[in-house]
Amino acid sequence: MPPDLRFAAERAKGFMPSAEGQALFEIGCAYASLGPLCEIGTYCGKSAIYLGAAARLAGSVLFTVDHHRGSEEIQPGWAHHDPALMDPRVGKMDSLPFFRQTIAAAGLEEQVIAVVGPSATVSRYWNTPLALLFIDGGHSDDPVTRDYEGWSPHILPGGVLIFHDIYPNPADGGQAPYRVYQRALSSGDFVEVRTEGSLRALERQVSPRRTNADS
């Protein structure tokens, strides 16, 4: 990864460990020649730098989708809440200004395109096939399920679906992303191609294998 972008990513607000971010960049580089990339869950743009760097090298773009009002786990009173992101004018979280500053400082404004709105709403009107889909939005069952159901059909054959915060052991973290990840694996449409920490990359099969449920 270009040193300037690695430095920008490591300085940005967010929860992506460096090793997982590097893996995200490498996976992005491997698939970005197929088409555009898409991230669900922008926050302040940390992971968008890793994927945006891959998009720039491949001559592609990254769409990053978020309502920027914060997922459940970063609201006031929760462990990951950052008071600096509160907008006192409306009494709600607003990560959009921080995202814009992060991407501008990284020099990725031409490659990283913000789509501001609820993921489930945007997915209903989305028609562009995707080379890569990274699901890292809300981490409870409902948002993860809706992100998977709404966005995974847009992944091209040979493209890749990436999940973050996959914890097989409940003692390590929440189980909703893990359950949806297992669902994707059992669908017959995807095969796991890489793991790094809590990151899981699943490639969409050109000819999905049949499962017992298909018989």
The rounded radius of gyration (Å) of the Cα atoms in the chain is 16
| Runs of H (alpha helix) within 107-193 | 119-124, 141-151, 176-186
Q: Is 139 a catalytic residue?
A: yes
The pLDDT mean for the chain works out to 90
Tell me the percentage of the chain whose pLDDT exceeds 70: 90
Domain ranges of the chain: 3-214
Architecture of domain 3-214: 3-Layer(aba) Sandwich (3.40)
* H/E element, 63: strand 62-66
Per-residue pLDDT reduced to its tens digit, 60-116? 999 999 988 866 666 666 566 677 777 778 777 888 999 999 999 999 999 999 999
Decide the pairing of beta strands 92-93 and 86-87. antiparallel
Pick the catalytic residue from 68, 139, 154, 164: 139
Q: Please give the pLDDT value at position 137.
A: 87
pTM for the model stands at 0.89
